[in-house]
Amino acid sequence: MLRTLQTFPLHKDSAWDLAWNHQKNILASCSSDKTIRIFKEQMNQKTKKNEWICSSILEESHEKTIRSVDWSLDGKYLASCSFDGIVNVWKYSLKNGQNDFECIASLEGHANEVKRVKWIFSTESKNLLATCGRDKTIWIWEQINETEYECLAVLTGHSGDVKYISWMNDSKFLISSSYDETVKVWQKSKDENHWLSLDTLAGHNSTIWCCKPCGNNCILSCDQDNKIILWKPKTDIETLPEQKFLSGYSLFEEDSEKTEKNKIWQKFVVISNAHKRPIYSLEIIEPLTESNSELIFLTGSGDNSICIFSVIDSEVKIRSRYENAHPNDVNCVLYLKEKEMITSCCEDGIIKFWNFKK
């Protein structure tokens, strides 16, 4: 199901993250070498076949490791975040058929390392950008214009580094995972200026490296101890009484034993020891829907392997396992649906492109 197409040993240090531009069909990668590389597909004039090339290198914008990159949904902007505490926003355009990138904004606010950056386009607003970091906070930024960004909220609920953030259900909910071994779900008020903790998902016993929505309001998370958890809601989250949040207090007192029965999400499936070392990355291939009961997802691990999982109801199947997919930790796996491809990156800076058939 996976076949290596191309391998790029271009980064001079660990490659951490990958981001696909769905509008422009280009890929961004970032690294501890303080660079962002842009890949595009073009025709090889000798073989008459399409192949990937590194078309641009963005450098000298961050002073330390670049930990994460993400494209805005309209494909016009690329955000990057770094251990230097800065979030940069790049404007992307084509000039004379060539990629052109201009750093148009630098966002400051985090006290130290910024670990993750995620765009969303809100139907009530403009582009929203979420960032999280070692300072245990999550920042929500609104794009006022191309060069101006306003901080709408700073979320302070985790007691450890916030490792990952993902948007869910447009921009109504934000999920986060942390060194504190929890996943949190945050709910947005209608005016977008208030974000309150909706639920805390406790079930992991180590750092949670990644958390993603996987359809039907379900959440998938993975951790340092090789565990994957599928969480399902016990109630329809779309019908929760928002006015209780707007009045200034949380609907759920999460530290109270008597409210455990009122938790919204519960553990539905726990997958243990499918990998031999920490699982750093999750990627949803087929989400759950009303008409699809099979969840298909990818994992990238510190055991150098990539796995493809299938979950139907509570039955788990490893559809494929690719040992030694990389010579070192697999830090990120990404599904390019339009291309029927997967990309991955690892600790030694290698980027791989894979042909993928379901």
Q: Tell me, what's the pLDDT at 253?
A: 36
Look at the alpha carbons of 277, 279, 115, 354 in this order and tell me if their dihedral is positive or negative. positive
- In whole angstroms, give the CA distance from residue 198 to residue 220: 17
Element (H, E) at 235: none
pLDDT, averaged per 10 consecutive residues of the chain (358 residues), comes to 94 98 95 98 88 95 98 95 98 89 97 97 76 98 94 96 95 95 91 82 98 97 98 83 43 42 90 97 97 97 98 96 97 96 98 92
Q: Are 15 and 331 in contact (CB under 8 A)?
A: yes
Q: Calculate the CA dihedral of residues 260, 169, 138, 225 and round it to 10 degrees.
A: 60
Q: 273's torsion region: left (phi>0), alpha (psi -120 to 50) or beta?
A: left
Q: What is the pLDDT of residue 125?
A: 58
Q: Architecture of domain 2-356 in CATH?
A: 7 Propeller (2.130)
Q: How many CB atoms lie within 10 A of CB 249?
A: 10
Pull the structure tokens for residue 318.
């490893």
Q: What per-residue confidence (pLDDT) applies to 96? A: 84
pTM for the full model? 0.93
User: Residue holding tokens 């950056």?
Assistant: 117
* Cβ-proximal residues to 116 (8 Å cutoff; 6+ apart), any chain: 67, 68, 81, 131, 132, 133, 162, 163, 164, 165
Looking at residue 122, what is its pLDDT? 66
pLDDT at residue 246 in the model? 39
Residues 6+ apart with CB under 8 A from 15: 29, 30, 31, 331, 332, 345, 346, 347, 349, 350, 351
Selection from 166, 165, 162, 120 nearest residue 143 by Cα? 120
